[in-house]
Chains A and B, each alone.
Chain A
């Protein structure tokens, strides 16, 4: 049985993992700062920092929506929780970055798990609406609980990243800190995705009844995935708080959740490198199109539409499990050794 009847992307030439990682690290920590310093200006560093924050957001959303198949429409809410935790801890208690960052992640993850517990038995679209509701509830709380969050006034003059007395003295140093956090987050997320845990999530995504019949504790898996994803969203929020120095509830509305979802989809649901590329694209593109002025949003919407139309599985879409299996079996019957069943 040939694989030609199944529409799928060709195999990407894969680099040996260690080399790929070293290359990425090189780009992130050396090439980018060098180029940006050369061109000069804090503006580009700011874009780069924002892009990395959204990379973390997209990658974390990819874990729950792409790999586990649970469409989440409230991701911005947890991003907001992380940002507010970091902002409140540092402005009210003078906590350093080393405290606010993990605290933001922990609180966001805890609230995510709490929220996941009652809703995990819901099927796809019901779960999506529940997450939408949760995201909106978080926004409304941030906006109206004025005594605690200062409501629409926002929190200003949030201290910069401060660790054991050291503070970044230039945009490049701030960028390097953010890049390190992003690199570590991506590494953790990729370890989670390329592991038995990740495979189990994919099984749940493709067919949760089957997965359950095979002995996987579906509810437990979903809760852990959701909690982990919210934790990283919180971390991204903490980074936002310390780099922008000002946060307000209107930055964490439903529209932002849709933004992040668009990044994951454009890059390819289920594919971690896809989520990264999608995030980079959708952060850098609006800036590059700034000169187009009033037509920016139309241009972005059209790009989203055409990328979905022409590349429905995303730029680096993860091949569907069924097509991979079919190819594997096909190979087995014809006796030839096939490519290993694995995911990039």
Chain B
């Protein structure tokens, strides 16, 4: 049942329990995420994944001496709401760490409050370059575009692409995706014919495609999410634009293929999560997620799963009597965490995550790894 009244009630009960049970060794981790509004499908996926990880942790014995509980709050991916929730979490003394938010703008709005109050914050998806610079309390486990951009630029260069156009969504993620790629591509001697930004919510790309077609690049690099991506690929087929398409890991989503149909074939993209990866950690996660929710988890679920895992490992390291300070220090020491999105280490100075990325493509209606 999509309507999570049960979830809301559980959340309320947990919050009540969390604040009441502060004396009995309950550790609460706050999780701010979009449960309603335009990004609600991402929020739901985060919640699903985090719940699975926490359950796994408890089944494996949990943490002796403490009961770890998650408290979810709906931020609607709105910076205003994120701020309110941040303040709410900061006031609750039983909350020692926070996961979230989804977008960089919401995460950064909340970060200002966490920085002032001293609360460690780990975002599973905030990729704005400035996010971790706000204060020592901010962490993230998603590859920033400063890693993915050059990776894709190198790939395209290898495949003989010398002229490329970039199509990017006009938000902080899109800007950094486009600029990182463009800089790296130019450094390899390629030409970027143009960078086309489109406002979030746009679904009609024919004007952009026509404009790009005039410059006749060999390939297009897409910095967008799967919904825009599906429309873009369909319209590219409609207009018969010959240029190949490469994309960032944001396009790795089963729904893309369902929405775009045969137009999706031939897309190249980078990713750090592959459900078919034989790694036992990945298979365990995929199996559990599929058993409980009926679908294969996507990259966003994997990110949240890992974020929760990193937080749990840090909690264990900080010991049964966790404080916000000790948790922050433990998080900063994260090294080689065996996540489903690749081994994750936080750089000791910048707190940026270092991860690995693979090349993929869509062929015959399926994602597969490629060279």
Contacts and interface: CB of A to CB of B under 8 A. Distances in A.
Interface stretch (A37-45, A180-188, A324-332): A37-45
Contacts of A246: 79, 105, 108-109, 111-112
Given A154-B172, A156-B112, A143 B8 contact: no
Interface in B55-91: 73-74, 78-80, 83-84, 87-88, 90-91
B190 to A, nearest CB: 23
Given A152-B170, A157-B134, A294-B35, A245 B79 contact: no
A287 to B, nearest CB: 7
Interface string A269-309: 00000000000000000010011111111000000000000
B5 interface: yes
Given A144-B197, A294-B3, A154 B105 contact: yes
Given A152-B171, A152-B172, A154-B108, A293 B84 contact: no
Contacts of B7: 293
A173 interface: no
B130 interface: yes
B130 A156 contact: yes
B74 A296 contact: yes
B4 A244 contact: no
Contacts, number: 97
A193 interface: no
B170 A50 contact: no
A84 to B, nearest CB: 14
Interface residues of A, number: 32
A251 B199 contact: no
B11 interface: yes
**Most B Cβ at <10 Å: residue of A41, A47, A246, A287:** A246
Contact of A294 (B5, B79, B111, B174): B5
Contacts of A46: 83-84, 87
Contacts of B208: none
Interface residues of B, number: 39
Contacts of A140: 199
A157 B87 CA distance: 17
A157 to B, nearest CB: 7
A151 B84 contact: no
A47 B83 contact: no
A267 to B, nearest CB: 20
A156 B134 contact: yes
Interface in B168-207: 170-172, 174-175, 197, 199-200
A152 B74 contact: no
A157 B78 CA distance: 18
B210 interface: no
Interface string B1-42: 001110110011001000000000000000000011100000
A255 to B, nearest CB: 10
Contacts of A146: 175
Contact of A244 (B35, B112, B117, B134): B112
A206 interface: no
Contact of A245 (B80, B112, B197): B112
A122 B87 CA distance: 45
B171 A157 contact: no
Given A152-B105, A290-B73, A42 B87 contact: yes
A293 to B, nearest CB: 3
A248 interface: yes
Nearest to B91: A41
A162 interface: no
Interface of B: 3-5, 7-8, 11-12, 15, 35-37, 73-74, 78-80, 83-84, 87-88, 90-91, 105, 108-109, 111-112, 117, 128, 130, 134, 170-172, 174-175, 197, 199-200
23 contacts: A42-B90, A42-B117, A43-B84, A43-B87, A50-B84, A140-B199, A151-B175, A152-B105, A152-B170, A152-B171, A153-B128, A154-B108, A156-B112, A245-B112, A246-B79, A246-B111, A246-B112, A250-B105, A250-B200, A251-B80, A293-B74, A294-B35, A297-B37
